[in-house]
A and B are shown apart, each in its own frame.
Chain A
Amino acid sequence: MTVTTTASGQASPPVELVTCTIDGIDVSVPKGTLIIRAAEQLGIEVPRFCDHPLLSPVAACRMCLVEIEGQPKPQPACAVAVGDKMIIKTQMTSEVADTAQRGVMEFLLINHPLDCPVCDKGGECPLQNQAMTAGHAESRFEGVKRTFPKPINVSAQILLDRERCVSCARCTRFADEIAGDPFIELLERGAKQQVGTAEDQPFDSYFSGNTVQICPVGALTSADYRFKARPFDLVSTPTTCEHCASGCGLRTDDRRNKVQRRLALEDYEVNEDWNCDKGRFAFRYLTDDRLTHPLIRDEEGDLVPASWPEAINFAAAKLAEVHGKVGVLTGGRLTREDAYAYAKFARVALGSDDIDFRARAASTEEAEFLAAHVAGTGLGLSYADIEKAPIVLLVGIEPEEESPIVFLRLRKAVLAGTAKVAAISSWASPGFAKTGGTVLAAAPGAEAEVLAALGAKAGSLSEAAASVADALREPGAVILVGERLAANLGGISAAVKLAGETGASLSWIPRRAGERGALDAGALAGVLPGGRPITDSGARAEVAAAWGIDEADLPAEPGLQAAGIIEALLTPPVVDEEPAPGTEEDDALIIAETAVESAAAADDEPGDAADAAAEDPNFEAIIEEPEPRISGLVIGGVEINDMPDPEAFRLALKEADVVISLETRLAGVDAYADVVFPVSVDTERSGSYVNWEGRIRPFGKVLRDATTLTDGRVLAMIADELDRPIATEDSNAIRREIDGLGFYSGTRPVPPAVTAPVAATPGSGQALLASWRHLLDLGILQAGEQYLAATQRPSVVRLSAATAAGIGVSDAEDVTVSSESGSITLPLVITDMPDGVVWVPGNSPGSAVNASLSVVPGTVVSIARGGQA
């Protein structure tokens, strides 16, 4: 195996060129190029169905026949590589090729139904188009066309009309070669040949939607889009997927201001020609149950509709009351522009640095790592780089579930033999198994230990681990850490240390699309836009100058992160100066109360008691209300169950004096909010995301008539009302401001070096919780997608054989996993994983870890036979 170790952008070694003549034009192409590709370079289009640049050639449809001088019969251009001095004639110049193609087309049409008017592909169909260019106007076929009963479901989402199929095998090759889910295959022979699935195994692939897009006829259609619109109704806009940090380019098609479908947009640097089903099919949330007007809480405690000026005034008045004590939680789903607006709003309008974009299990260690290593670093390690890494070590990330395009790239590279994959994980998931990588099994919480062992290359390493450790020291090696590693203290520090020791590149892959952008935009305590540390006065000065404010008005100390904000709301404020054991404090309070009462009672001697109080300096300090650190919240796009402990978050929301919520639909936080503002979704505005590579992925406004307001605009209106303007009304203006600010160029903070605590040892009937979220689950952006939900992976609990035997359960029996807060009961699948570890999906039907267990992975939970919690 030859590993190309040059970084992307550098010149690759010279390739051998061959020169051929196509239709009388000479062209030089690298050796091994297929004739059809060489012709494309000349702008000569050879008709084709089965050929796809990313799939292996099969020459199944025979449509691309061309004449090659010296060959007795026409040859398929999609399967024959160009030879030196080859003379090729396509249908443009060769009667033979043209006749051959027309003959093939006539054969293909023999059994193809004439149902174009009711076919979803009609209007954008390669067969339809090529029947016009290379077909006979009249059919000579007089027999009865082969028919099949109407569509069959190869999965809940994908429908197959078998009579339309031209047996090009694009879908089966995609499923096998790209997705690695070979659940569909060509069955039968001759005229009966058809695509089919095994009886008990539907085509439940996370990438099944791509087969609909690459089908050159209307044989594969999606249940979601079936009969919804015709291609000529649709207006297409290039957009970016908002479902994960892969940053796929999408084409969003709308009809009369309603999104009808989304397709993968060709972008060879990022998603090539593919995307996942979540990105393709989950967009109903854009329209269903939208909030359309601001709501404010009236005196009776009900949320009532209000006008915009009324709600803005109300929110501004409320925020003015708690100035400097407001926390801002933005979730991870915002665009870079909106996150920037929140970051600026917090610093300028609220005078606070208490902001965090991480609505999930997070740690201070992670924040330090992000500030040191990720924030404001721009495009770093790219998809192209991971494709040729001697080893890609995955820690705290499950690519197929959490960043599907990373998975596709890894699989592609592994199949091409240009990269190897290893993961530190509790078990080899089906997705990981498809990359054929090495699993370095680790109980949750023990990742740091494994990372340290790889770094130290201690003698105790297993053979597999030792080869991973060696590969990590080769140039171009990559360590990818997922956001889940933040839950296990010390893990990120260990990864940083390992990268330092081995020279491997380290990259961070969050799960949500907006996280990297929010980080760059400064929506994290201690980090100003562009990755500037708030403690650096030079950085503060740059930002203050760009924002047109006095540097002294910018907070100079890092504020609280999400966990700190919630804790500050839940901990009752204590009187400082008084180290005060409880009794003394209670006494003091009682004295104060009595004093006030007596002052009120003593009508005839007004002010006496108060005077007495004024004379006593201690007294004064005591009756003064202790200042809470946080008493207000501004929340944008946080789902309560995103938080690792939803109940604590609810209590914190209840405890807060002021809660301002910016939402697209009423999703939970509104129950505690004083003001709720409706904001726009991605289709209603332009913006950008930053994908895990650090690549900016802009998208345009899809629904041109939409009049909803962006988060930035709402915040700007509140800021104006507070007389601390932030000027974030316009996304383009924000983009210019971000570009103007640029990235931080000073000394970066030091990455964290946290020592991992000793992992807890589960007792009998206990286990360490491991968990990650399935790609298709109960996520709020997939709400209402019934066909998509039907292709979810089943919710199961996983234990090792020994652990299962320990609690006396066997395969497929129910197991109950419980914590102090609640329990989850799911059927068991015995899995090859460390003993004393239990795995459940993070947010799937019957298994909402945050809501039910309220613990983060790595915690000890109880396990028992189903029903005996």
Chain B
Amino acid sequence: MAELPQAVRGFSTTFFTMFRKVNTEQYPEDKDKYPPKPAFHGRHQLNRHPDGLEKCVGCELCAWACPADAIYVEGADNEEGERHSPGERYGAVYQINYLRCILCGLCIEACPTRALTMTNEYELADNSREKLIYEKDDLLAPLMPGMVPPPHSMVAGTTAKDYYDGKVTGSTPAQADEVAAREVEKVSAQAATADERLADAAANEEAAIKVAQERVANDREEVLADLAADEKKGGAQ
């Protein structure tokens, strides 16, 4: 073998490798075949209670824990009729900047309500800086069956403690009705605004037509008057 040219020896490695099992994972074509490990620290998620209310209380401990200063939170008071979480306080603004986040997971350890956890989603790339600042809407967990979208009141007769003790297992018909009523109100308000706009438009159109008609009439009178004057002049000459 020693006298075989070096090149043939090299190419033989290549040749035999062609028949070996492939280790390359094809991304993105075959990404579903290779899911990340369950404990992988991916994009964050803001969880909900079983009735749809948010678990986040806006305490900012995640922001405090964050070594990369990637999280920005503003807390606010749950107003009467505008409840987002059980208890008094909720996170009104919640942003995670994935340009800064190092996915270390200290934030989810800091979270006192298990509102913040991490998903396995790892595709955190985009073509602008703005898009990589995830807002609350981007981070909130999807509504699972039995949940209704907040704001809505707590399950009747429960306290915030009951939520944390796991005594609330899903939304009640009263909550569903409340949300439905709100939706109906919203839609009817939209309809009312649309009607108003239509009416305004019609009124505007009418006014415009009137102005145009008046202008035509005026022009006509002017032309007639001019003609009459010309005639008069002509007659005089």
Task: Decide yes or no whether A140 CB sits under 8 A from chain B.
Answer: no
Q: Is the CB of B77 within 8 A of A227?
A: yes
Which A residues lie within 8 Å of B87 (CB)?
Answer: 118
Task: Decide yes or no whether A150 CB sits under 8 A from chain B.
Answer: yes
Task: Decide yes or no whether B51 CB sits under 8 A from chain A.
Answer: no
Which B residues lie within 8 Å of A117 (CB)?
Answer: 57, 59, 61, 112-113
Q: Is the CB of B64 within 8 A of A232?
A: yes
Q: A226-B77, A227-B77 are in contact. Are A118 and B60 (CB under 8 A)?
A: no
Q: A117-B57, A117-B112 are in contact. Are A227 and B89 (CB under 8 A)?
A: yes
**B57 nearest in chain A by CB position:** A118
CB distance from A124 to the nearest CB of B (A): 13
Which A residues lie within 8 Å of B61 (CB)?
Answer: 117
Q: Is the CB of B88 within 8 A of A233?
A: no
Q: Is the CB of A227 within 8 A of B75?
A: yes
Q: A118-B87, A118-B89 are in contact. Are A227 and B58 (CB under 8 A)?
A: yes
Which B residues lie within 8 Å of A85 (CB)?
Answer: none
CB contact list, B56-76 vs A, under 8 A:
57-61, 63-64, 74-76
Q: Is the CB of A228 within 8 A of B64?
A: no
Which A residues lie within 8 Å of B113 (CB)?
Answer: 117
Task: Decide yes or no whether A503 CB sits under 8 A from chain B.
Answer: no
Q: Is the CB of B88 within 8 A of A150?
A: yes
CB distance from A825 to the nearest CB of B (A): 35
Q: A118-B87, A150-B88, A227-B89 are in contact. Are A233 and B60 (CB under 8 A)?
A: yes
Task: Decide yes or no whether A846 CB sits under 8 A from chain B.
Answer: no
CB distance from B161 to the nearest CB of A (A): 9
CB distance from B11 to the nearest CB of A (A): 63
**A150 nearest in chain B by CB position:** B88
Task: Decide yes or no whether A698 CB sits under 8 A from chain B.
Answer: no
Which B residues lie within 8 Å of A180 (CB)?
Answer: none
Task: Decide yes or no whether A564 CB sits under 8 A from chain B.
Answer: no
Which A residues lie within 8 Å of B89 (CB)?
Answer: 118, 227
CB distance from B6 to the nearest CB of A (A): 66
Q: Is the CB of B59 within 8 A of A122?
A: yes
**A226 nearest in chain B by CB position:** B77
**B161 nearest in chain A by CB position:** A147
Interface size on B, residues (CB 8 A): 16
Which B residues lie within 8 Å of A233 (CB)?
Answer: 60, 63
Which B residues lie within 8 Å of A123 (CB)?
Answer: 64
Which A residues lie within 8 Å of B75 (CB)?
Answer: 118, 227-230
CB distance from B236 to the nearest CB of A (A): 32
**B60 nearest in chain A by CB position:** A230
- How would residues 161 to 172 of chain B score, 1 for a CB under 8 Å from any chain A CB and 0 otherwise? 000000000000
CB contact list, A208-230 vs B, under 8 A:
226-230
Which A residues lie within 8 Å of B57 (CB)?
Answer: 117-118
Q: Is the CB of A227 within 8 A of B76?
A: yes
Which B residues lie within 8 Å of A230 (CB)?
Answer: 59-60, 64, 75
- How would residues 102 to 116 of chain B score, 1 for a CB under 8 Å from any chain A CB and 0 otherwise? 000000000011000
CB distance from B66 to the nearest CB of A (A): 11
Which B residues lie within 8 Å of A229 (CB)?
Answer: 74-75
**B58 nearest in chain A by CB position:** A227
CB contact list, A84-131 vs B, under 8 A:
117-118, 122-123
Select which of A118, A122, A228, A232 is within 8 A of B88 by beta carbon.
A118
Which B residues lie within 8 Å of A122 (CB)?
Answer: 59
CB distance from A713 to the nearest CB of B (A): 33
Q: Is the CB of B59 within 8 A of A118?
A: yes
Which A residues lie within 8 Å of B59 (CB)?
Answer: 117-118, 122, 230
Which A residues lie within 8 Å of B77 (CB)?
Answer: 226-227
CB distance from A582 to the nearest CB of B (A): 51
A42 to B74 alpha-carbon distance, docked (Å): 41
CB contact list, B141-200 vs A, under 8 A:
none
CB contact list, A226-269 vs B, under 8 A:
226-230, 232-233
A227 to B112 alpha-carbon distance, docked (Å): 16
A159 to B74 alpha-carbon distance, docked (Å): 20
**B59 nearest in chain A by CB position:** A117
- How would residues 350 to 366 of chain A score, 1 for a CB under 8 Å from any chain B CB and 0 otherwise? 00000000000000000
A226 to B79 alpha-carbon distance, docked (Å): 13
- How would residues 36 to 65 of chain B score, 1 for a CB under 8 Å from any chain A CB and 0 otherwise? 000000000000000000000111110110
Which B residues lie within 8 Å of A150 (CB)?
Answer: 88
A122 to B74 alpha-carbon distance, docked (Å): 15
CB distance from A153 to the nearest CB of B (A): 13
A226 to B90 alpha-carbon distance, docked (Å): 12
**A123 nearest in chain B by CB position:** B64
CB distance from A524 to the nearest CB of B (A): 46
**B72 nearest in chain A by CB position:** A256
CB distance from B113 to the nearest CB of A (A): 8
CB distance from B193 to the nearest CB of A (A): 27
Which B residues lie within 8 Å of A232 (CB)?
Answer: 60, 64
A226, A227, A228, A230, most chain B CB atoms within 10 A: A227
A117 to B73 alpha-carbon distance, docked (Å): 13
Which A residues lie within 8 Å of B63 (CB)?
Answer: 233
A123 to B77 alpha-carbon distance, docked (Å): 19
Which B residues lie within 8 Å of A151 (CB)?
Answer: 88
A117 to B57 alpha-carbon distance, docked (Å): 8
CB contact list, A557-598 vs B, under 8 A:
none
A776 to B17 alpha-carbon distance, docked (Å): 86
CB distance from B14 to the nearest CB of A (A): 59
A678 to B59 alpha-carbon distance, docked (Å): 37
CB contact list, A367-394 vs B, under 8 A:
none
A233 to B113 alpha-carbon distance, docked (Å): 20
CB contact list, B89-104 vs A, under 8 A:
89
A122 to B59 alpha-carbon distance, docked (Å): 9
CB distance from B86 to the nearest CB of A (A): 11
A118 to B90 alpha-carbon distance, docked (Å): 9
A232 to B64 alpha-carbon distance, docked (Å): 7
A150 to B159 alpha-carbon distance, docked (Å): 11
A123 to B63 alpha-carbon distance, docked (Å): 13
CB distance from A681 to the nearest CB of B (A): 23
- How would residues 1 to 24 of chain A score, 1 for a CB under 8 Å from any chain B CB and 0 otherwise? 000000000000000000000000
A230 to B57 alpha-carbon distance, docked (Å): 13
CB contact list, B111-130 vs A, under 8 A:
112-113
A229 to B76 alpha-carbon distance, docked (Å): 9
B57, B60, B63, B76, most chain A CB atoms within 10 A: B60
A230 to B60 alpha-carbon distance, docked (Å): 7
CB distance from B108 to the nearest CB of A (A): 14
**A114 nearest in chain B by CB position:** B112
Instruction: Taking A117-B59, A233-B60 as given, write out 13 further A-B residue pairs in contact, using a Cβ cutoff of 8 Å, ordered by the A residue number.
Output: A117-B112, A117-B113, A118-B57, A118-B59, A118-B75, A122-B59, A150-B88, A227-B58, A227-B89, A228-B74, A229-B74, A230-B59, A230-B75
Question: Could you jot down 15 A-B contacts, CB within 8 Å?
Answer: A117-B61, A118-B58, A118-B59, A118-B75, A118-B87, A118-B88, A118-B89, A150-B88, A151-B88, A227-B88, A228-B74, A228-B75, A229-B74, A230-B60, A232-B64
- Top 3 nearest A-B pairs by Cβ distance? A117-B59, A227-B75, A118-B89
